[in-house]
Structure 1
């Protein structure tokens, strides 16, 4: 449990950075692209961060496209 608490400030910082970048792109009529290294998205904390960020985007009624 301790290691999770130690890494939470970094996760919060990354998520805040994504939100700030998204907000600027959204306000200017641009787009936001999130690219992750193939080895990192499989970590549970990354899934949680991506899910949280997608909810943040959806709350702003944005079009979300994914590459499948």
Structure 2
């Protein structure tokens, strides 16, 4: 079933919080949409601070992760 933008974002957000990561190809198939649409959705969630895009998908953003990395360096 093809999902609206709002439903896609809700699904991606739920999966990120449940699993900690999502894969673009799987989301495109589940949402019956293009990879480009999924990439745009992930970019939107990244801009909101919910996700961090990685090769092939995204991971759940962890508050403070940037600080910890900078402290280690």
Choose between structure 1 and 2: higher strand proportion: 2
> Normalization by structure 1: what TM-score?
0.41
TM-score using structure 2 length: 0.40
